[in-house]
Amino acid sequence: MAFFNKVACFTDIHFGMKGNSRIHNDDCEAFIYWFIEQAKAHGCETCIFLGDWHHHRASTNVSTMNYTVSNMERLGKAFEKVYVLMGNHDLFYREKREINSMEFIRNIPNIHLVNEWIVEDDVALIPWIVGDEWKKIQKMKQQYVFGHFELPYFKMNAMVEMPDVGGIQTDHFAGCGQVFSGHFHKRQVMKNVTYMGNAFPHNYADAWDDDRGMMIIEMGGKPKYINWPDMPRYITIKVSQLLEDPEKYLKPNMYVRVTLDIKISYEEANFVRETFIDKYQLRELQLIPEQID
């Protein structure tokens, strides 16, 4: 029997981010509802989460823990099997997997905590790699590999590329079929390795990059990506550009950073800010004076 027939995947949701903000945790919960709805509509019986459920490594806030329990129970009821890979943010230590912040979900029905490698038939599930575990990868021949890898030359965000620090390399997966990873939040592909893109944008480092959401794969097939339509979005824009056509750029739940590139009084700028926040249901509109060299 195949490890999965049709699997729905998501990654790097980071419950507890932004100081355990209720707004962020509510976004995470809204995403889970949408994810389950999409997975059911596409006939997925299995779910794989590719790591970093929690944001804080050293402690779990009580409110955030309640969100985790209720949403893990929700996933457990929706799927026959839910595999939850441990990412580096889920681990107390970066260099070993001895202690994690997710141990309390282990007894929720249908939830499988992946704190050690699972290699079955044509599928491998690999949590955050520690020590010299990466040396095993070169011998692997699995058709589908799911993990939380830190591979060089991929973009950590829109601007910064991961340096090569030795150790694991993309070429080590040459014997495998398709490799899917969490960890870096930007959706990107190199050779047979895909960073699938995290659940939704988290901050201004994700500005203008809305290729986030979920991935569906049927055994033997190629991945299908679905972006969450109601995701909170981040944009950075000049006030001259914004005033030309606000309808084009502004959406509900958006975070907007506006550079003041034209002469505008404090009163006018504030009026624009308050009007746009109200009219377009923005979460934030910051006004930034233009830097003059």
DSSP characters for 12-76?
---BTHHHH-HHHHHHHHHHHHHHHHHHHHTT--EEEE-S--BS-SS---HHHHHHHHHHHHHHH
**90 CB contacts (<8 Å, ≥6 apart)?**
51, 52, 53, 54, 57, 100, 101, 102, 128
- Domain co-membership, 180 together with 260: no
Please state, in angstroms and rounded to a whole number, the distance separating the CA atoms of residues 171 and 266: 55
pLDDT at residue 218 above 70?
Answer: yes
Token reading at 274: 């308050």
- Tell me, yes or no, whether 98 and 221 share the same domain: yes
Residue 73 scores a pLDDT above 60: yes
223 lies in some domain: yes
Same domain, 222 and 238: no
Is residue 159 very low, low, confident or very high in pLDDT (cuts 50, 70, 90)?
Answer: confident
Q: Note the pLDDT tens digit of each residue in 123-152.
A: 999 999 999 999 999 999 999 999 999 999
Check residue 293 and give its pLDDT: 53
**pLDDT tens digit sequence for 169-199:** 999 999 999 999 999 999 999 999 999 999 9
Domain that holds residue 168: 6-227
The pLDDT assigned to 158 comes to: 79
Q: Which of 227, 253, 271 is a domain's end point?
A: 227
Per-residue confidence (pLDDT) for residue 157, from 0 to 100: 84
Look over the chain and give the mean of its residue pLDDT values, rounded to a whole number: 96
pLDDT attached to residue 21? 97
CATH of the domain at 113: 3.60.21.10
CA 178 to each of CA 10, 106, 148, 193, 219: distance values in angstroms, whole numbers, following the listed order:
16, 28, 14, 6, 11
Burial class (CB in 10 A: 0-12, 13-18, 19+), 11: buried
Domain total in the chain:
2
In a domain, residue 260? The reply is yes
In a domain, 1, yes or no: no
Whether residue 91 is contained in a domain is answered as yes
Strand partners, 91: 100
Q: What is the predicted pLDDT for the residue at 292?
A: 61
pLDDT tens-digit profile of 251-287?
999 999 999 999 988 899 999 999 999 999 999 999 9
**Same domain, residue pair 173 and 241:** no
Query: Does residue 223 share a domain with residue 102?
Result: yes
What's the mean pLDDT in 150-159? 90
Same-domain check for residues 137 and 118: yes
CA distance 24 to 223: 28
Give domain status of residue 105, yes or no: yes
Please check whether residues 220 and 257 belong to one and the same domain: no
Of the candidates 107, 115, 139, the one whose C-alpha atom is nearest the C-alpha of residue 49 is 115
Asked if the structure places residue 106 within a domain, the reply is yes
The answer to whether residues 11 and 124 belong to one domain is yes
Look at residues 227, 252, 277 and tell me which one is the last residue of a structural domain.
227
Whether residue 130 is found in the same domain as residue 64: yes
| One domain, residues 79 and 112 | yes
Domain-ending residue, one of 227, 255, 273: 227
Same domain, 151 and 179: yes
CB 246 within 8 A of CB 278: no
